[in-house]
Structure 1
Amino acid sequence: MTLLDRVAEPVVLEGLLQVAVASLLALVVLGVSYRRSLDLESELGRAFVRGFVQVVAMGAFIGVLFSVPFVWSGGVILAMMAVAAWISKDRGEGVPGVLRASLVSILFGAWVVIVTMLAAGAIEPTVRNLVPVGGMIIANAMKTNSLALDRFRGEVASNRREIEAVLALGVPPGRVISDYVTTSVRASLIPMVDSLKSLGLVYIPGMMSGMILAGANPIYAAEYQFVIMAMLFAAGGLTSMTSTLLVRRYAFTEAEQLKRFGEAGDDADRAVGE
């Protein structure tokens, strides 16, 4: 089946009607933001439109990928990781080495999980399975990394004088900033931990529901959903831990002085940004 054949299917039109209804609900949020002067409607509106365009484009792209060899999916996964790192770095804007740290940590965290679960058979070695599941893993790694970077930047900015005072006493930079790194990692994992705590009680994920509606064994659907959640947690944890360790290293000069966040990013990041 070609891409044009898929677009012409009646279910696509039905989906557009559902998108319109969901968009009306989103407009309510934008209206409330405007009335309360939260100044979020511009960012929320752009994010909403951008998300719709991107996810539909990805759906069409995956439809094309179904007809190509499996090896192509590796390139798609790597491209996803690169885009995720580029998006995630904005939450740590001004942190020295933020782009490099984001790219390395997402590559490491997501790739380890994807390769391991491919070997275990939890992800089938097909484009139809690898790209969607891999995308979920990468997206969660990106969100966790963003939360960790944002918290790290805030912690250092709020405690800069204290950090510099302790450094002046001769305490090694790694020890001075270790508490802030720990706080950043913990904060980044809170959403995932809460999701695990509520799994099956409050939170019934879409994949499990979809498998049950498709006729799968409900117990197996529950088991597989837990596998997915465990993969997301592992990828997020590895990513945030790696990212904060890297930015901790980049945060200091060779003279063991704290860099000015927002003023002393590394040349590589600035060159990429230009």
Structure 2
Amino acid sequence: MSALPDRLTDPVVVRGLLQVAAASALAAVVIGLSSLRDLDLERELGGSFVRGFVQVVAMGALIGALFTIPLSYSGLLLAAMVGYAAWESRKRGDRVPNAFRISVVSLGVGSAVVIVTMVAAGAIERTVRNLVPVGGMIIANAMKTNSLVLDRFQGEIEANRAEIEAVLALGIPPERAVSEFVTESVRASLIPVVDAMRTLGLVYIPGMMAGMILGGANPIYAAEYQFVIMGMIFAAGGLTSMTASHLLGRAAFTDAAQLRRFDATDATLVAALRSVINR
């Protein structure tokens, strides 16, 4: 294993920096357009772009050490990924009651069921080199779905609060009063993954399949394995979305079946976690 300074001075890394500069220029165009149109997204767009670059490069620098850890520790690493993903995802539903807790449970269920099942089926090898990257891919995509559920559910409830409270006043059970909005939240959250599956191989040609073919793998097997990956992403997203929507439907009401005000989430929990992170 080469030393870190040797890796940093590798010509491939230098060439990669030029490619990063090109991608950054395109991102700068998007941020500039946001400013011109007064969308007020410059900070979020720029921050996420820079943050993503720093995080992925840091992971690349540590990847050699990561592959030397015992397999048993990979479960702890994946659990930490779920926790962090939930922390980021709950921001999309910052006014939803118990958004962080719901995100942890939903992401945990959606990711764990898929990862454990596919490890048992042999689709994910029992090695850190395979389990962590593939598991991280599954968790990341499940996080996107969870964020969409939170965002859409919050918007639906806020936009239809008067209608929901009127239905509740007629004696309709809380679950039925919000069932339509829960359904819309699930449908909206699954649009990206459904569209990706529909266009797979025709419009969407994933990089993993191309990488396997360039690496000398049988093209048909590369296609089959890519479909397996997409299937895992589809299943994790679906399980996450449905778990989140079920929990959201319950969290939206008090014990007295009254619709909660979406003006504060786990304030105490969030404040405690922020204090720990900032230490």
- Whether the 8 Å CA contact 1:106–1:142 is kept in 2: the answer is yes
Deviation of 1:2 (Å):
4.6
Hey, what's the Cα distance between the residues in 2 that align with 1:233 and 1:264? 29
Task: Name the stretch that deviates more: 230-239 or 3-12.
Answer: 3-12
Partner of 1:111: 112
Hey, what's the Cα distance between the residues in 2 that align with 1:182 and 1:39? 30
* Aligned residue identity for 2:132: V
Taking a change above 3 Å as real, the CA distance of residues 266 and 243 of structure 1, as seen in their structure-2 partners, is: farther
Hey, what's the Cα distance between the residues in 2 that align with 1:159 and 1:37? 28
Q: Which runs of 4+ in 1 moved over 6 A?
A: none
Partner of 1:192: 193
Alignment of 1:98 onto 2:99: yes
Unaligned stretches of 5+ residues in structure 2: none
Hey, what's the Cα distance between the residues in 2 that align with 1:273 and 1:178? 34
Partner of 2:37: 36
- Whether the 8 Å CA contact 2:99–2:265 is kept in 1: the answer is no
Q: CA offsets per residue over residues 205-230 of structure 1, 9 Å max, x none?
A: 11111111111111111000000000
Partner of 1:225: 226
- Whether the 8 Å CA contact 1:84–1:139 is kept in 2: the answer is yes
Hey, what's the Cα distance between the residues in 2 that align with 1:79 and 1:153? 26
Hey, what's the Cα distance between the residues in 2 that align with 1:81 and 1:3? 31
Partner of 1:25: 26
Residue 178 of structure 2: SS of its match in structure 1?
A: helix
* Aligned residue identity for 1:218: P
Q: CA offsets per residue over residues 49-82 of structure 1, 9 Å max, x none?
A: 0000011112222221122222221111111000
Deviation of 1:262 (Å):
1.4
* Aligned residue identity for 1:146: S
Instruction: Give TM-score scaled by structure 2 length.
Output: 0.94
Hey, what's the Cα distance between the residues in 2 that align with 1:210 and 1:264? 43
Alignment of 1:67 onto 2:68: yes
Unaligned stretches of 5+ residues in structure 1: none
Taking a change above 3 Å as real, the CA distance of residues 33 and 166 of structure 1, as seen in their structure-2 partners, is: same
What is the 5 A alignment of 1:142-153? 142-153=143-154
Instruction: Count matched residues.
Output: 274
Hey, what's the Cα distance between the residues in 1 that align with 2:69 and 2:15? 28
Partner of 1:58: 59
Q: CA offsets per residue over residues 106-158 of structure 1, 9 Å max, x none?
A: 00100110011011111111111111111110001100000011000000001
Deviation of 1:41 (Å):
1.7
- Over aligned residue pairs, what C-alpha RMSD do you find? 1.6
Task: Name the stretch that deviates more: 4-13 or 196-205.
Answer: 4-13
Identity %: 66
Residue 203 of structure 2: SS of its match in structure 1?
A: coil
Partner of 2:260: 259
Deviation of 1:273 (Å):
5.4
- Whether the 8 Å CA contact 1:96–1:266 is kept in 2: the answer is no
* Aligned residue identity for 1:204: I
Partner of 2:140: 139
Hey, what's the Cα distance between the residues in 1 that align with 2:61 and 2:116? 25
* Aligned residue identity for 1:126: T
Hey, what's the Cα distance between the residues in 1 that align with 2:67 and 2:264? 46
Q: CA offsets per residue over residues 159-202 of structure 1, 9 Å max, x none?
A: 10010011111111011111111110011000100000000010
* Aligned residue identity for 1:58: M
Partner of 2:12: 11
- Whether the 8 Å CA contact 1:98–1:269 is kept in 2: the answer is no
What is the 5 A alignment of 1:232-243? 232-243=233-244
Taking a change above 3 Å as real, the CA distance of residues 172 and 270 of structure 1, as seen in their structure-2 partners, is: farther
Residue 71 of structure 1: SS of its match in structure 2?
A: helix
Partner of 1:163: 164
